[in-house]
Structure 1
Amino acid sequence: MLLFINSDDQQQQQQVNLFNHLLFEEKIRGFETVYIIDLAKEQRPFRGEAEYIHDNHGFYSARYLPTQTPQIMVVGRQGVRQVYRLTEFLGHYLPPSAKEFP
């Protein structure tokens, strides 16, 4: 799974923190490896369950062509299988009372 973000956007930072918390709590399962690919100008410190990649040369964005950030892509050997907006993806894992996330 690839999660494309732009950490220059404070709201996206909050959404990624929530995503990371759900990974830590093992609420999100079924994905071998999760990569957070940051398209921001500056690399940010990151601690969490996912592997952080600062895509400062645009390798991943050129290869996978995200149409927006934040965006999740589920990839396999044959390429991209599914694409989600992060808010749409998180909505499946949050209780109804917590749907008002950043």
Structure 2
Amino acid sequence: MRVTHATVVDGGVCTVRIAGDVDMSEVEGVTAWLRAAVDTSGCAAVEVDLADTRFLDSLGIAGLVRAHEYARARAVHLRYVHVQPWVLRVFQVAGVADRLDLA
């Protein structure tokens, strides 16, 4: 399933809702969307809503980690929200759950 996104800015928080499969064919687009949110003027924090994420492969995980590091380097708080249990398990198995802000 092709991945889509929607970005909403409210009170200094940019929420990016990711829907679909975050895999090798989509990861560059997802990473670009998240970087754009981090760079949005007036956004002190970015929330990445994973409620509708249906698939996440190793390159997708790496892209989300890169986005997290990109935000940190720019002093923007980035956290992943509505993390489904299976996504949390994928993060844990990959060894990145402790590096990300997950809610």
> Do they fold alike, i.e. is TM over 0.5?
no
TM-score (norm 2): 0.37
TM-score (norm 1): 0.37
- Relative contact order (C-alpha < 8 Å, sep 6+): which is higher? 1
> Which structure shows the bigger proportion of residues in strand conformation?
2
- Flag the structure with larger Rg: 1
> Which structure shows the bigger proportion of residues in helix conformation?
2
